[in-house]
Structure formats: structure tokens, C-alpha cells
Structure 1
Amino acid sequence: MVTTDYTRRAMLGAAAAAGVSISARAQVNGTGRPRLRLGIIADLSGPYADLSRPSEVCARQALEDFNVSARGWDVDVLVADHQNKADVAAATARRWIDQDGLDALVDVSTSATSLAVNTIAREKNKVFLASGPGTSDLTGAQCSPNTIHWVWDTAMLARSLGSSVLRQGGDSWFFLGADYAFGHQLARDTTLVVQGGGGRVTGTVFHPFPGTTDFSSFLLRAQASGAKVLGLCNGGADLITCVKQAREFGIARRMKIVGLMTYDTMIHSMGLQEAQGLQIAATYYWDLNDRTRAWQARVQPKTPQLYPNMVTAGIYSSTMHYLKAVSDMGVAEAKRDGAAVIARMKAMPTDDDCFGPGRIREDGRKLHPVYLLEAKKPAKSRHEWDLLKVVETLSPEDSFRPIGEGGCSLVPT
């Protein structure tokens, strides 16, 4: 049996949904069946909300595909809005673990919130499967035996998309980023790639996050810099607004706009008329191959208005692999020792319909191919979500930071 337990503002809405109970807490020990509790902490009301909305659906699809009910397990899914505040995310994670018997966190989008939760998961010896955050510190200076970083990180975006644009002649960059951990790290990592490849950075500026809606002063500084490339180190609604305002000001005619962290969800939101020609790096897209298309067909009826992106597909993928490890160990042992679950997950090869075959390194980095994609011209699109074409497929080794460069204490020296 799978139940869903929302926190605070979402709880009454959940109670109104057919078949959903808000009394799951009282059932923890009432059935005699093994029970797991998974938690998703994401931006449900801010600039990244559209990216996060399919999160629960994707987690539940993993439970359905793994057939937890037939295995005799009860699984609860808890969902909370972190409001883009690290203290809110940390307090939610601690409460879920201490009061609600949480076993695993399977997202925690954004860098600052994930770093806060990363510390708690280690302290409480729980499983943390980071899907949404970008900070490469999760497999670097702040790596943990309780954490796997699943989908992407800033180092990957810099090495894949940054290198590709540099090869295309984009040898001078101006960076505009969000003023928090993610934006700073993405600008830093891409600067290293650009300069290492013989390019130069003419300037970097950060906008307040969240809350900025007028980017004109920042964009005009970029235009005045003389750089060939405008590297956007933000995401969600902020990136969409930046692209639209850059086109309004005519900046796109003089500079190549690169959204270093752009999802297909965001391409859909801005429309192909605005997005055409934009190149992005992604580890998942619904139309990559027969497996991704088959998975999309299964999940689409449950989220018809918003296709899953690589982060929410990562929630499916990481949940599936977690369930395989729990099955291998036994539920009781998995609940007792989160670090042991992570070790078992690292020892097992990964394979699922979203990301295909892969593996997990000692530093907690999940490895899989990276795809360079380009937004189609409107005339080339067959339907609303036919947005991107594959330009290049990169190996994990060419895309993710080498294991010896992150400074992770888990890596043998």
C-alpha cells in the first residue's frame, strides 16, 4: 500500500484527493507489514515550482513499477515546500526523521537547502538521494557516506555545455547568476572551463535570489562587456525571464545566450519562438529512446500538463535503485542503517528506463551519459512537448568531474 502525507498548506488538499489519507502516521505500526517513509522537500511555490511539481508522481511511479504492494510493503511519501530557505528544509528533514520515522529523502531541490539537509542525513544516519540540487560540493568537500548525488551538478554543466560552446567559437563570456550557492558555483566551474580552454571572462554579476523580476540593468552590463556569450547561471522562472528580456533588448543578436541550467520544462514555458536555437545539457529527455518514451507513456496520464524533467525523472530513478537495495538487504536492516543502504546502492549497477545503465562512484556521484540538446525551430516541432533534438552524446567520463578533483574524503588516496 502506498500513501501520501503532505505537510502544512498541502495537507488539506491531499485529504480532498480520492483515496488519500492524512492519518498515515497512526498506521506506522498498525498493519504488521514493513513500512518505508520517503520524503520530498522541494520548491513548490517559488521560481522552481514548475520543475518540482511532477516530483511525487515520479516517486509513486517507481513504487508502482517496483510493485511494492505485491512485496507486502507499505510506503508513505511525504512532500514539503522548503520555500527556498535552508532553515526550513533542515527543520522539515529533522522533524520527519525524529517524529515521523522517515527513512530516505529523495530530492531536496536547490543547493543551499540540500547542503543543510546533507548534514542532517549524515548525523541521523538516513539515506539522502539528491536529485534536484546542483552544488558539486555534495561529491566534493561535503561528500557523505549517506548521500548520492543523482542527476547533475554544476561541474557537469560546465564541462559539457561550457566546453561545447567554447569549441563553437564562444571564447569570451559574461556570466549572470543567482546570488546563492548554486549560481556562484556554476559561474565558478564554468569560468575554470572557459579559461582552461583558452577563453576569457569579461565579467560576472549576481542578481538577488529569490525575488528579482527586472534583469535589465544586469543584461545591459553584459551587453556592454563585449563578450560573445551570455552565460546564465540561474534557473526556473529567473532564467526564462532573462532569456525573454535579452531578446527584447536585442542582446540575442549580438551575444550567444547559454542557459547553463535549462530544463525542457523551461523551454516549454518560454515557447520555441523564444527558445529556438538554445543549447542545453541534460541527462534525461523524454524522447531520447524507446525506454524513455515508454516511461513517459506510463507516467503522462498522472501529470498530463507538465512532463517530467531530468530532476523529477531522477526521483524515479533514485527511488527505484533504493528499493532494489532495500529488497536486497531486507526492510528491517535498511531502516536501521542508512549508510549501509548507500553502500549497497554503490555496489549495485544502476539501470532504469529514464537513465539506462550506469554506476555510482565512491564519492556518491551517479554516472550516466550527458546529452547536448538544442531547442527546435517552431516549424520542426510535431507537438507541444516536441521541443529538443540531440546534438551530441557525451560519456560520463567526459562530462562529470574526475573523482580525484573533488576533494571527497571518501575517495581512497
Structure 2
Amino acid sequence: MRKLLTSVAAIGLLAAPALAQVSDDKVKIGILNDQSGVYANFGGRYSYEAALMAVEDFGGTVLGAPVEVTTADHQNKADIASNIARQWYDTEQVDSIMELTTSSVALAVQALSKEANKITITTGAATTELTGAQCSPYGFHWAYDTHALAVGTGGALVEQGGDTWYFLTADYAFGYSLEENTGNFVKANGGEVVGAVRHPLASTDFSSFLLQAQASGAKVIGLANAGADTQNAIKQAAEFGIVQGGQRLAALLFTLSEVNGLGAEAAQGLTLTESFYWNRTDASREFGKRFLERTQAMPNMIHAATYSAVTSYLKAIEAAGTDETEAVAAKLKELPVQDLFAENGVVAANGRMIKDVYLMEVKAPDQITEPWDYYNVLSTIPGDVAYIKPAESGCPLVTQ
């Protein structure tokens, strides 16, 4: 009996240091995004489910401590998001906040988290400022950004002769960034931006904006918005006969969720850029089918990237032997990202996770062979082409 008690005590002593390296004896992740507004299907509760799947697939614990996931709706308002983040950090023992759809929200929460010495991994927002001038040593950007969208969709349409552009832009940080990045890319490739108009987030009537775009005579109308805003703009453009009149619509941020919401008939022929497609590889198909069984929807790039971000965060804690922020941030930048979302992903010094992205075309309805099989993959854009080179990003963390 004495030997047994001694053995049990020894096991306890061996286990204790590992658990002691985890603050509050648990790891808690917050998924903060829009769950009731214009981006509710873009990320929303589906991103929360993706995070839960990642934790379950990891085994539910790290360094012997349980992993918890909490979630909240920021309503696309930076002040609400910041208040939730403060409460999570101050009273609810949240260690890291992820997803952060809406660029104004992501910038605010990343800045607050820097002060709080906490890690953020953004998968839902797009602005390049997150890894540019407003980068953070504890801030990471995982799924896509406005530069990758500009190179993908913008580049494809310029090559196809779309050399004059007019932008219909969401009136906040994301829209400005997407318009600027795409406009710069168009001009650098010999095209011209003939004008732009900005609309409020969550608009329901795009008629005046679309009429201005139509009157511009531009070959391409760039929709620098996302979610339900893009869906509504495309539907209303059809009512004005814009495409029938010879102009093209560029859905600069459009995902599988919005294609499904719009319907294949209305979306067919659209060119878009995503960093994930469920029907591209065996690993993505397996994940997609599990996700579909759980949510009754196929994952888009935000959902898959959230799964990847949570998994990478837990791997970094495991590799660091602690959940201490500095050590985990260092491991996130050191470890390769190899999973169902990223093949040979690399995290740069500015926090940008660099991987390939894909130029897609929405199939005609008669080409769709199974539910959610909406895309033809037109080309693969290498990560070092899609994303701004870290040394050129404007991030003060990058020294070379």
C-alpha cells in the first residue's frame, strides 16, 4: 500500500507542473463575431461550431488542462466588441479571442488585446491594417485579406479586359481597404478607376448607388462589401439590367455561404476568391461533410480558418509548454500550419499567415452535381503572390 501511495504521489507531482503552466487551470477561447446581422452567415454561429470541432478533434485538453470555448455577438460595433473583450479578459478568464468579423471590430479588439497582453487570431475581418501599420506582437491574421482578394478577383477581371472600374463600397474600414487594394492593383496593371460611391453597412436599398455605377460606364462594378450587402446588391443589379447591359459585377468578398444564399441561378458566372473550398481535397471534403452533418451547411473559408486557428493555437500552447502569451505567440510564428485549411502555411513576423488562395467561378446550375458543389477552381494563387510581403506591410515588428 505504501508503494502504491508513493507511486500515486509521484504521478501527481509529475502532472502538477504541466497543469501549473496553464493559467486558471484551463484554456478558454472566445469566438467574437456578428451572429444576428449582415455577416451572420458569413461567420456567425458556424464559426463557433468550427471552434468546438477543433477543440474536440484536439482531444478537449492541452497540457492536461481542459479547453473551453465561449462566444458572443458584437453586432458589428467596435464599442460593443471592446466591452465584451474587456469583460472576457477581466472577469471570465478568456485567454484568446478569435474570428472577429468586421474590420473596425478586429482593429479595436486587437489593439485592446495588445494592451492586455492577449492573443487574437482574426479569421473573419479583411483589412491589411491588422498586419500592417496597426500590427501587434500578439495579433494574427489567418483566413484572407483585402490584398489577396484584390490580386485574385481584381487580377482575373483585369486580365479579361475589365480595365475600367467603379466601386460600390461599404462605408467603414473593410470597404475602404478593399477598394484601395483593388484600385491600386487595377491601376498597376494598366486599368483605371473612374469613381466610387459608399453605402452604409447593412443597406437594404442599393438603387441609387447602382444607378451611379451604371451611369459611370465602367466595364466592372466592384462590390467592395460582403455578406448580405453583396447579395442584395447583386439581386438589385439584376433588376436594373446592369449585367445584361454589358457591365460586369465583381464580388470582391463573396463566400460559399453567400453563393448558397443568393442561389446558383443568380450567382452563376461570378468570379471570386476564397482560401478554402470544401470540395477541393480529401481532407477538406472529410471536414466539410462532418461540418454539414453538424450545422446543415458547408463551411466557407472563415469557418475552416477558425478551425485551423484554434488548432494552431492549441498546438502552440502544447509546444511552448505553457499558455503564457509571449511563449505562445513565438510558437505560432515558428510552427508550420499544415491542416485541412492550409497546406504548408507559414506565419510571418507581422502575424500574417501566408498560404495559397484560389480563384473560383460559380458553376451554372446544370453543372452542379451535388448540394453545395458551387465552384470550379480556376487557378491557385501562391501565398507569396496573394499577400503583401511582410517587409512591405508597414508593420513595425518586421525588421527585414
Please, what TM-score do these two structures have when normalized by structure 1? 0.89
Structure 2 residue 47 is matched with structure 1 residue 91: no
Structure 2 residue 361 is matched with structure 1 residue 370: no
Report SS of the residue matched to 1:202: strand
* Structure 2 letter corresponding to 1:282: E
Q: Which residue number corresponds to residue 271 of structure 1?
A: 263
From 26, 34, 40, the counterpart of 1:35: 26
8 Å contact 1:108–1:131 — kept in the other structure? yes
Q: Which residue number corresponds to residue 16 of structure 2?
A: none
Relative to structure 2, which stretch is displaced further, 154-163 or 143-152?
154-163
Shift of 1:340: 2.4
8 Å contact 2:24–2:93 — kept in the other structure? no
Moved over 3 A (4+): 69-72
Distance 2:115 2:337 in 1: 26
8 Å contact 1:166–1:197 — kept in the other structure? yes
Shift of 1:339: 3.0
* Structure 1 letter corresponding to 2:312: H
CA deviation map 1:100-124 (0-9, x unaligned): 1111112111100001101111111
Q: Which residue number corresponds to residue 348 of structure 1?
A: 335
Report SS of the residue matched to 1:311: helix
Q: Which residue number corresponds to residue 293 of structure 2?
A: 301
Please, what TM-score do these two structures have when normalized by structure 2? 0.92
Q: Which residue number corresponds to residue 120 of structure 1?
A: 112
Relative to structure 2, which stretch is displaced further, 258-267 or 47-56?
47-56
Q: Which residue number corresponds to residue 308 of structure 2?
A: 317
8 Å contact 1:33–1:74 — kept in the other structure? no
Q: Which residue number corresponds to residue 47 of structure 1?
A: 38
Q: What is the CA RMSD across the aligned residues, in angstroms?
A: 1.6
Q: Which residue number corresponds to residue 261 of structure 1?
A: 253
Report SS of the residue matched to 1:106: strand
Structure 2 residue 377 is matched with structure 1 residue 390: yes
Shift of 1:404: 2.2
Distance 2:62 2:160 in 1: 52
Distance 1:184 1:68 in 2: 40
Shift of 1:357: 2.1
From 29, 54, 59, the counterpart of 1:62: 54
Distance 2:310 2:140 in 1: 12
8 Å contact 1:86–1:113 — kept in the other structure? yes
Relative to structure 1, the CA distance from residue 252 to residue 63 in structure 2 (aligned partners, 3 Å threshold; closer, same or farther) is same
Distance 2:384 2:143 in 1: 15
From 359, 363, 381, the counterpart of 2:368: 381
* Structure 2 letter corresponding to 1:83: Q
Q: Which residue number corresponds to residue 13 of structure 2?
A: none
Q: Which residue number corresponds to residue 190 of structure 1?
A: 182
Q: Which residue number corresponds to residue 292 of structure 1?
A: 284
Distance 1:69 1:41 in 2: 21
Report SS of the residue matched to 2:32: strand
Shift of 1:249: 0.9
8 Å contact 1:58–1:313 — kept in the other structure? yes
Distance 1:385 1:159 in 2: 25
Shift of 1:33: 9.0
Q: Extract unaligned runs of 5+ from structure 2.
A: 1-19
Shift of 1:66: 1.0
Report SS of the residue matched to 2:196: strand
Distance 1:377 1:300 in 2: 22
Relative to structure 1, the CA distance from residue 380 to residue 197 in structure 2 (aligned partners, 3 Å threshold; closer, same or farther) is same
Q: Which residue number corresponds to residue 15 of structure 1?
A: none
Distance 1:328 1:69 in 2: 14
Distance 2:368 2:45 in 1: 24
Structure 2 residue 228 is matched with structure 1 residue 241: no
Shift of 1:372: 0.2
CA deviation map 1:18-56 (0-9, x unaligned): xxxxxxxxxxx9xx9931110011101110001122111
Q: Which residue number corresponds to residue 136 of structure 2?
A: 144
Q: Which residue number corresponds to residue 216 of structure 1?
A: 207
Structure 1 or 2, whichever has the larger Rg, is: 2
CA deviation map 1:242-276 (0-9, x unaligned): 00111111001221111000001100000010000
8 Å contact 2:391–2:399 — kept in the other structure? no
Distance 1:165 1:374 in 2: 12
Shift of 1:70: 8.6
Structure 2 residue 400 is matched with structure 1 residue 409: no
Report SS of the residue matched to 1:120: helix
